[in-house]
């Protein structure tokens, strides 16, 4: 199996408890009690929904931006972290019809996606999963997983509000916001 493939299964099991599930735009997903995040494919028993995605090469960042990100960012999976968010989005046909230079202009020149996100690192860790080219009829184009400490919850609210206010987000036509917590035993 492709080690870049991740599976987000909503249902009655999994190490994350759902504290909030809300459609931001477009059709919602069924409410669930727990979410399991697996680094594999395969059927998930009793799941109300399953989102799949692969981590991949970055599509927009330049070398300078990558270096700035790598210098600051934390990896997903820090053991003491208790809070997470799963934000699946789909972009509209107009976005996908744009050429690379046009999408890059919206992503960074107009929306400052990287530049304005940098100050939230390393407190907020992020992993982007691509769904659009999996070959199936996926309900979303991307699933982003965020992890942060309870103390950084308000910084996270600020980050998502900032992203949703950008020109890039005018091309988003479906979005869910799923907030998770887990128990950490020290």
**Contact residues for a second copy (CB under 8 A)?**
1-2, 5, 41, 52, 54, 56-63, 65-66, 96-97, 99-102, 104, 130, 132-138
| Spatial distance between the Cα atoms of 163 and 159, rounded to a whole number of angstroms | 6
CB of 111 to a second copy, least distance (A): 16
Choice between 105 and 155, CB closer to a second copy:
105
Question: Among 41, 17, 47, which residue's Cα sits nearest to residue 131?
Answer: 41
Q: Which CB atom, from 55 or from 166, has the smaller least distance to a second copy? A: 55
Nearer Cβ to a second copy (18/118): 118
Closer by beta carbon to a second copy, 101 or else 183: 101
Cβ closer to a second copy: 70 or 150?
Answer: 70
Q: Which is nearer to a second copy, 130 or 179 (CB)?
A: 130
DSSP secondary structure letters along the chain: --TTEEEEEEES-SSEEEEEEEEEES------SEEEEESS-S--TT-SEEEEEE----SS--HHHHHHHHHHPPPTT-TT--EEEEEEEEE-HHHHHS-HHHHHIIIIIIT-TTTTTGGGTTTSEEEEEE-TTSSS--S-SEEEEEEE-GGGHHHHHHHHHHHHTSGGGGGEEEEEEEEEE-----
Give the shortest CB-156-to-a second copy separation in angstroms. 26
CB of 54 to a second copy, least distance (A): 5
CB of 18 to a second copy, least distance (A): 25
CB of 127 vs a second copy, minimal distance in Å = 15
Min CB(168)–a second copy separation in Å:
15
How many CB atoms sit inside 10 A of residue 84's CB?
22
């Amino acid at each position: 199996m492709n080690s870049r493939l991740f599976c987000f299964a909503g249902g009655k099991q999994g190490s994350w408890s759902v504290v909030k599930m809300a459609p931001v735009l477009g059709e919602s997903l069924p409410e669930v009690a727990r979410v399991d995040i697996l680094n594999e494919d395969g059927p998930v028993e009793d799941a109300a929904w399953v989102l799949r995605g692969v981590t991949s090469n970055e599509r927009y960042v330049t070398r300078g931006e990558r270096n700035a990100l790598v210098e600051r960012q934390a990896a997903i999976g820090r053991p003491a972290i208790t809070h997470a968010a799963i934000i699946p989005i789909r972009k509209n046909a107009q976005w996908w019809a744009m050429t690379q230079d046009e999408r890059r202009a919206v992503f960074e020149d107009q929306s400052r996606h990287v530049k304005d996100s940098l100050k939230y690192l390393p407190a907020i860790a992020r992993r982007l999963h691509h769904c659009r080219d999996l070959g199936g009829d996926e309900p979303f184009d991307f699933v982003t997983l965020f992890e942060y400490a309870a103390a950084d919850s308000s910084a996270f609210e600020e980050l998502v509000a900032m992203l949703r206010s950008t020109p890039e987000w005018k091309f988003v036509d479906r979005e869910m916001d799923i907030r998770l917590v887990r128990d950490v035993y020290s």
